[in-house]
């Protein structure tokens, strides 16, 4: 089968010391470790971000493997002293966050503006 090298693209930007990572596509087992590396690289960059927001508006799909990369990112952020938030989850992705219990560990916001306001 012709599986694309990765079904997930990521881009990022920085606003007032807050890094925003935007995954686009499918965060499945094949994309999870790469996505985790993107989050950890963003947290380890200089200067250190005050916060990391994952803007999920382009995220069509996430599995348990993908969820784990969020969890690792959230833990790395905590030890780096940065706020870790997610925003703009589609109804299906939000359901996965809720059912897995991750929504108790990672705060989510309806949009980027609300998430940025939370970081302050």
Residues that bind other proteins (CB under 8 A): 1-3, 28-30, 61, 63-65, 67-68, 71-72, 91-92, 95-96, 99-102, 104-105
Nearer to other proteins, 35 or 102 (CB): 102
Check if the beta carbon of residue 70 is closer than 8 Å to that of residue 52.
no
Please, which contacts does 98-104 make with residues 24 or more away whose CB atoms are closer than 8 Å? Answer: 100/64, 100/67, 102/67, 102/70, 102/71
At closest approach, how far in Å is the CB of 93 from other proteins?
8
Q: Whose Cβ is closer to other proteins: residue 3's or residue 79's?
A: 3
Closer CB to other proteins, 46 or 99, in the complex = 99
Query: Least CB distance from residue 92 to other proteins, whole Å?
Result: 4
Phi, psi of 75 (to 5 degrees): -70, -40
Tokens encoding 98: 């809720």
Beta carbon nearer to other proteins, 104 or 120: 104
- Separation of alpha carbons 56 and 8, rounded Å: 12
Structure tokens at 119: 């970081």
Q: Give min distance, CB of 71 to other proteins, in A.
A: 7
Least distance in angstroms from the C-beta of 64 to other proteins: 4
């Amino acid at each position: 089968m012709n599986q694309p090298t990765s079904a997930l693209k990521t881009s990022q930007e920085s606003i007032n010391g807050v890094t925003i990572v935007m995954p686009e596509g499918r965060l499945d087992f094949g994309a999870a470790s790469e996505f985790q590396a993107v989050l950890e690289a963003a947290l380890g960059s200089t200067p250190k971000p005050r916060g990391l927001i994952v803007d999920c508006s382009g995220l069509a799909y996430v599995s348990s493997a993908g969820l784990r990369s969020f969890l690792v990112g959230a833990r790395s952020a905590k030890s780096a002293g940065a706020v870790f938030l997610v925003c703009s989850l589609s109804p299906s992705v939000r359901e996965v966050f809720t059912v897995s219990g991750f929504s108790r560990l990672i705060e989510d916001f309806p949009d980027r503006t609300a998430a940025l306001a939370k970081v302050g």
